[in-house]
Amino acid sequence: FIINQAEDSSGYTWYRLLTTYRVGWVRGDLLTQTSKKGEGIFQFLKLSGTTHINPVEVNEKILKEQGILEGKAEAFIAGAEQYNINEFFLISLALHESGNGSSELATGVKVNGQTVYNMYGIGADDDDPINKGAQYAYDHGWTTPELAIIGGAEFVSNGYINNPNHQQDTIYKMRWNPANPGVHQYATDIGWASK
């Protein structure tokens, strides 16, 4: 964010910038401006607590045409309220991890003759994501999309956001775990927190 600007004696315009990490001055001809203001700031949003969103509005404006997630605002709200998590985070996580409600895990995989769902990619290890993610869903009884949404909320809350030992209550902390780097990270994708 540009918070100030000045011109020096040589005619250069200098901008005082506020970034995610610091405040500083940059000469204007060395600066490339984008239209994306605040990109990445939500990775530092505290995720515990609910926002009391309107389910009708969420279904119409966010989940419309989002595959199997369409019309599921009530399940996200129930999971958020039950496990003290931000509803928008849960929705964003499910949209990201399920390819906007269209991934194989999200739309259902048969395990032992039972169709199971996994909206957040939980247990979907990189070496065999479909089978391992489906087995995790089967082991936890996620036999409907709603059970998968609420069950995933429990996993994220108990394991990360509201876990008294890890206290990973931001997306950044879930990915990088600055208190113990390299240990207990939600995702392997290095760009996950900013995505």
Rounded Cα–Cα distance for residues 56 and 20 (Å): 34
Number of neighbours of residue 191 by Cβ within 10 angstroms: 8
Please name every residue paired with 115 in a beta bridge, in sequence order, or none if there are none: 110
Smallest CA-to-CA distance from 160 within 170, 151, 150 is with: 170
Percent of all residues in the chain with a pLDDT value above 90, rounded to a whole number: 64
Q: Over the stretch 65-85, which tens digit does the pLDDT of each residue have? A: 999 999 999 999 999 999 999
Question: Does the pLDDT of residue 15 top 70, yes or no?
Answer: yes
Identify whether the C-beta of residue 193 lies closer than 8 Å to the C-beta of residue 172.
Answer: yes
Rounded Cα–Cα distance for residues 73 and 56 (Å): 8
Percent of all residues in the chain with a pLDDT value above 70, rounded to a whole number: 93
Supply the pTM of this predicted model. 0.79
Instruction: Name the band, by pLDDT with cuts 50, 70 and 90, for residue 166.
Output: very high
Instruction: Name the band, by pLDDT with cuts 50, 70 and 90, for residue 169.
Output: very high
Q: Which of 14-18, 62-66, 77-81 has the lowest mean pLDDT?
A: 14-18
Q: Over the stretch 117-149, which tens digit does the pLDDT of each residue have? A: 999 999 998 899 999 999 999 999 999 999 999
Rounded Cα–Cα distance for residues 59 and 55 (Å): 6
